[in-house]
């Protein structure tokens, strides 16, 4: 579950996956741990390239990895007995750097882990800690809200999407296939367009719905409710139909590192759990903070309006903690992975215990940050 909140508390305010993940920041930043120095700190430097810190656990983050930066900066990793160095890079760079093996832990979706395993790598999805829900919205013109009551009313209509190869479209198509038995490619007339132009196309009447990908377009129904209305919210729809949330990212690690460092896993998870709670509790003040403000601005939160919308989402405790990592959740994600063949992955997926790390599964009645068992993650 999210830190100290029920899944049903989730509402439609701006999603951090839009504010951070979907901006696909291409410039890497490195945040060194500065416990106790929060008030005096400045924004992280932008180095020429990622650096490694000998003796530390290297966490390779992307634009979704704000909890890792917070855990590093606020000293939550150190408090829980682990020395973690966080490097934040763009999504494309993340894949190539993670493949080098120098960075043992990162943030990925379960279906990305499945794809890597199928390609011959050995990774594990370790925990839901610091996870964020997958986002795919269909926005329509507010003037058409009486015309379109459900996404099914858009059959045969042009909908603007950010690309057939994006996880946004892939997850949307998979959910419709899995839950409603609908082939999104034939049910709609999908039109690929640059993310920044989707709302303009909607305004001009060239499409009847838009699937936003940029921060500004995702929060448009909040900031301009007279112009835009959300018709379909993938995040809520999936959970309503399955009883479990769909996560865009969660803690992922290489098998060889898990084999050799099982004792460090609880500390990493506990540090991220505390960071997720900290962000949920402090989101309203982060934009004005001298350290976090520049990070948010570089990731697309351009002004106080965007920051207020983001804080509103965080007030519902947007980030997940490790207590969501249950067998029921894993079973639902694995079914989704199977349903995503042809949209998010190619070919049959690996076995469930090859994808999901077993020792950290939270048992019924348990809380987050479980101690790992002696099972071999590479098995």
Highest mean pLDDT among 90-99, 111-120, 139-148, 205-214: 139-148
Give how many domains the chain has, as a whole number: 2
Residues 182 and 129 in one domain: no
Give which of 59, 94, 90, 91 is closest to 73, Cα–Cα: 59
Report if residue 217 sits inside a domain: yes
For residue 29, what pLDDT is reported?
Answer: 31
**Candidate from 60-69, 103-112, 262-271, 324-333 with smallest mean pLDDT:** 60-69
Tell me: pLDDT of 176 over 80.
yes
Residue-level pLDDT at 111: 92
Task: Decide if pLDDT at 316 tops 80.
Answer: no
Q: Looking at the structure, do residues 99 and 114 belong to the same domain, yes or no? A: yes
Please check the confidence at residue 90 and state whether its pLDDT lies above 90: no
108 and 90 housed in the same domain: yes
**Comparison of pLDDT for 43 and 305, the residue scoring more:** 305
Supply the mean pLDDT for the chain: 79
Mean pLDDT of all residues in 99-106: 88
Q: Are residues 130 and 256 in the same domain?
A: yes
Q: Does residue 332 register a pLDDT over 70?
A: yes
pLDDT score for 300: 63
Residues of the chain above pLDDT 70, percent: 77
Range with lowest mean pLDDT among 36-40, 105-109, 222-226: 36-40
Tell me if 57 sits within 8 A of 104, measured CB to CB.
Answer: yes
141 & 71 share domain: no
pLDDT at 322: 96
Residue 371 within a domain: no
Same domain (yes/no): 234, 250: no
Asked if residue 367 belongs to a domain, the reply is no
More reliable by pLDDT, 98 or 3: 98
Domain boundary among 196, 219, 242: 242
Regarding whether 217 and 161 lie in a shared domain, the answer is: yes
Q: What is the span of the domain harbouring residue 143? A: 137-242
What is the residue whose two structure tokens read 């057939």? 164
What's the CATH code of the domain at 98?
Answer: 3.40.190.10
Domain assignment present for 364: no
* Confidence label for 12 from pLDDT (cuts 50, 70 and 90): very low
With respect to residue 370, please indicate whether it lies within any of the assigned structural domains: no
Which of 242, 271, 297 is the C-terminal boundary of a domain? 242
Q: In what order do the strands lie in the sheet with 84-88?
A: 29-31, 84-88, 57-61, 105-108, 247-254, 123-133
Task: Over range 333-353, report the average pLDDT.
Answer: 92
Mean pLDDT for 123-150 is: 92
pLDDT at 52: 75
> Is the pLDDT higher at 216 or at 105?
105
Does 43 score more than 90 pLDDT?
Answer: no
pTM for this model (two decimals): 0.78
Q: What is the pLDDT of residue 35?
A: 31
Task: Note whether 25 and 38 are same-domain residues.
Answer: yes
Judgement on whether residues 79 and 224 belong to the same structural domain of the protein: no
269 versus 51: the higher-pLDDT residue is 269
Q: Which of 96-100, 113-117, 144-148, 219-223 is predicted with the least confidence, judged by mean pLDDT?
A: 219-223
Residues 290-305, mean pLDDT to the nearest whole number: 76
Considering the domain architecture, whether residues 258 and 234 belong to the same structural domain is answered as no
Report pLDDT digits (tens) over 186-241. Answer: 999 999 998 778 999 999 999 999 998 665 667 778 778 999 999 998 888 889 98
Same domain, 208 and 253: no
* pLDDT in the model for residue 14: 31
pLDDT at 129 over 70: yes
In a domain, 362, yes or no: no
- Lowest-confidence region among 4-13, 269-278, 294-303: 4-13
Residues 263 and 323 in one domain: yes
Task: Tell which of 224, 242, 260 closes a domain.
Answer: 242
Residues 6+ apart with CB under 8 A from 252: 105, 106, 107, 108, 112, 113, 123, 124, 125, 126
Range of 221-225, 247-251, 255-259 with top mean pLDDT: 255-259
CB neighbour list of residue 297: distance below 8 Å, 6 or more residues apart:
287
Residue 115: its pLDDT value, please?
A: 92
């Amino acid at each position: 579950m999210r830190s100290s909140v029920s899944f049903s508390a989730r509402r439609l305010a701006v999603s951090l996956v839009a504010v951070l993940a979907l901006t696909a920041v291409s410039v890497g930043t490195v945040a060194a741990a500065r416990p106790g120095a929060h008030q005096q700190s400045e924004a992280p430097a932008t180095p020429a390239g990622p650096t490694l810190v000998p003796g530390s656990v290297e966490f390779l983050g992307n634009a979704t990895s704000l909890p890792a930066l917070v855990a590093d900066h606020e000293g939550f990793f150190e408090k829980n007995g682990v020395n973690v160095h966080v490097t934040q890079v763009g999504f494309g760079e993340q894949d190539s750097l993670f493949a080098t093996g120098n960075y043992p832990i990162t943030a990925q979706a379960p279906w990305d882990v499945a794809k890597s395993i199928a390609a011959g790598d050995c990774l594990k999805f370790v925990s839901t800690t610091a996870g964020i829900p997958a986002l795919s919205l269909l926005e329509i013109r507010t003037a058409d809200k009486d015309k379109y009551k459900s996404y099914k009313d858009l059959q045969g209509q042009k909908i603007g999407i950010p690309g057939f190869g994006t996880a946004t479209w892939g997850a949307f198509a998979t959910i419709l296939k899995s839950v409603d038995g609908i082939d999104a490619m034939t049910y709609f007339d999908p039109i690929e367009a640059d993310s920044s132009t989707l709302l303009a196309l909607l305004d001009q009447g060239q499409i009847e719905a838009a699937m936003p990908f940029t921060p500004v377009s995702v929060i448009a129904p909040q900031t301009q409710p007279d112009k835009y209305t959300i018709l379909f919210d993938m995040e809520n729809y999936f959970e309503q139909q399955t009883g479990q949330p769909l996560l865009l990212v969660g803690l992922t690690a290489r098998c060889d590192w898990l084999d050799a460092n099982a004792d460090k896993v609880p500390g990493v998870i506990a540090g991220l759990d505390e960071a997720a709670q900290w962000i949920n509790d402090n989101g309203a003040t982060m934009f004005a903070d001298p350290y976090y403000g520049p990070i948010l601005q570089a990731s697309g939160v351009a002004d106080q309006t965007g920051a207020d919308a983001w804080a509103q989402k965080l007030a519902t405790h947007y980030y997940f903690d490790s207590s969501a990592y249950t067998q029921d959740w894993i079973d639902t994600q694995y079914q989704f992975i199977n349903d995503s063949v042809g949209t998010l992955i190619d070919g049959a997926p690996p076995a469930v215990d090859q994808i999901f790390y077993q020792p950290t599964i939270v048992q019924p009645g348990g809380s987050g940050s479980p101690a790992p068992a002696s099972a071999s993650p590479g098995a």
